[in-house]
Amino acid sequence: MISVWLIDINEQVVEVYQQPTATGYQFMQKFSGGETLSIPSFPDVTITVNEIFGR
Protein backbone atom coordinates (compact mmCIF):
# COMPACT_ATOMS: atom_id res chain seq x y z
CA MET A 1 0.00 0.00 0.00
CA ILE A 2 1.35 3.39 -0.97
CA SER A 3 0.89 6.19 1.55
CA VAL A 4 2.20 9.71 1.99
CA TRP A 5 2.47 11.40 5.37
CA LEU A 6 2.24 15.19 5.54
CA ILE A 7 3.55 16.57 8.82
CA ASP A 8 1.95 19.98 9.43
CA ILE A 9 4.11 21.62 12.09
CA ASN A 10 1.97 24.76 12.26
CA GLU A 11 -1.27 22.91 13.00
CA GLN A 12 0.48 20.05 14.85
CA VAL A 13 -1.34 17.40 12.80
CA VAL A 14 -0.33 14.49 10.58
CA GLU A 15 -2.27 13.89 7.37
CA VAL A 16 -2.00 10.44 5.81
CA TYR A 17 -2.89 10.05 2.13
CA GLN A 18 -3.38 6.55 0.69
CA GLN A 19 -4.15 4.83 -2.61
CA PRO A 20 -3.08 7.40 -5.20
CA THR A 21 -4.97 7.71 -8.48
CA ALA A 22 -4.57 9.90 -11.55
CA THR A 23 -6.87 12.50 -9.95
CA GLY A 24 -5.59 12.42 -6.35
CA TYR A 25 -5.66 10.13 -3.34
CA GLN A 26 -8.67 7.93 -2.56
CA PHE A 27 -8.30 8.19 1.23
CA MET A 28 -7.09 10.88 3.62
CA GLN A 29 -6.96 10.75 7.41
CA LYS A 30 -5.96 13.53 9.78
CA PHE A 31 -4.42 12.73 13.18
CA SER A 32 -3.74 15.07 16.10
CA GLY A 33 -2.87 15.07 19.80
CA GLY A 34 -2.40 11.65 21.34
CA GLU A 35 -3.86 9.72 18.40
CA THR A 36 -1.93 6.65 17.27
CA LEU A 37 -0.79 5.97 13.71
CA SER A 38 0.20 2.60 12.38
CA ILE A 39 2.67 2.04 9.58
CA PRO A 40 1.30 -0.46 7.03
CA SER A 41 4.78 -1.58 5.95
CA PHE A 42 5.68 -2.28 9.59
CA PRO A 43 2.54 -3.71 11.25
CA ASP A 44 4.21 -4.08 14.65
CA VAL A 45 5.18 -0.38 14.77
CA THR A 46 2.89 2.37 16.05
CA ILE A 47 3.61 6.02 16.83
CA THR A 48 1.56 8.81 18.35
CA VAL A 49 1.26 12.30 16.96
CA ASN A 50 2.71 13.58 20.24
CA GLU A 51 5.85 11.48 19.65
CA ILE A 52 6.27 12.92 16.17
CA PHE A 53 6.17 16.46 17.57
CA GLY A 54 8.34 15.64 20.59
CA ARG A 55 5.60 16.08 23.18
- Residue range 22-42, pLDDT digits in tens: 999 999 999 999 999 988 788
- Interatomic CA distance for residues 50 and 27, integer angstroms: 23
pLDDT of residue 40: 78
- Interatomic CA distance for residues 3 and 9, integer angstroms: 19
Provide the number of structural domains found in the chain: 1
pLDDT of residue 43: 86
Domain hosting residue 11, numbered range: 3-52
Q: Mean pLDDT score of the chain, rounded to an integer?
A: 92
Q: What global pTM score does this model have?
A: 0.83
Q: In sequence order, what are the residues at sequence separation of 6 or more whose Cβ sits closer than 8 angstroms to the Cβ of residue 39?
A: 45, 46, 47
Q: Which contacts qualify for 46-55: CB closer than 8 Å, 24 or more apart?
A: 49/12, 49/13, 49/14, 52/7, 52/14, 53/9, 53/12
